[in-house]
Amino acid sequence: MAQIFPRWTNHVPTALALALPVAGLSLIFGVWYWFSPKFTDVGYAPEQPVPFSHALHAGQLGMDCRYCHNTVERAAHAAVPPSQTCMNCHATVRTDSAVLAPVRESAATDSAIPWVRVHMLPDYAYFDHSPHLAAGVGCATCHGRIDEMTIVQQAQPLSMSWCLDCHRNPTPNLRPRDQITNMGWDATTAQYDPHADPTRTRELAPPQNCSGCHR
């Protein structure tokens, strides 16, 4: 009897046995990386209604983060400053700048500038800035070198696994609490040990259970 299929089809099962695992692993890797916050979210830098350079204000001028984000040590959110805060300086600095016209109008009419949020967490995730700063987590740990950014971008994935890595081993990410806004503080040279810091009166116990962040 003549053969129905050509002889080369005998190798199809072997080829499939070799190709399917490779294809499956490639698919898993692709989803794991290209669909992860590290790829989709890091680098997000939306255009703002008014160009604001942190490299100038926080970097060159050395303004403390808390001057503008003045609720960060006592509230869950690091408040976006009202236009009146900007006008504390710009009432006498660059008063004729066309770029700053929306800021002057906002302050005069008591209307908010529609800033575009850069760092976002899902609604089901609870995050409070104040205990993190109280524990000695610096601004740059989560937000990167803001003082070098002309346009603010997301520097970390802010994913659950990224947060849990820190909660399980917080020590490398801690600094003296008087250094939390110091963007140039270097953990590798400082060799800071939070357990030996006499100013700390509470034991470090970041939650690792579900209810710590999902309330």
Let me know if residue 171 belongs to a domain. Answer: yes
Number of domains into which the chain is organized: 1
Residue 16 falls inside a structural domain:
no
Q: Please report whether residue 168 resides in a domain.
A: yes
pTM assigned to the model: 0.81
Domain membership flag for residue 160: yes
* CA 90 and chain centroid, separation: 28
Tell me whether residue 10 is in a domain.
no
Domain that holds residue 153: 119-212
Token pair, residue 40, equals 């989709």
In a domain, 106, yes or no: no
Report how far apart, in Å, the C-alpha atoms of 61 and of each of 65, 112, 148, 156 are.
12, 25, 12, 25
| 92 within domain boundaries | no
Domain membership of residue 192 (yes or no) is: yes
Phi/psi of residue 160, each to 5°? Answer: -60, -45
Ordered alpha helix ranges (H), the chain: 12-34, 37-40, 54, 65-68, 83-90, 101-109, 129-135, 139-143, 160-168, 187-190
pLDDT mean values, one per 10 residues, the chain (215 residues): 74 85 83 77 95 96 96 93 96 95 96 95 94 95 96 96 95 94 90 90 90 92
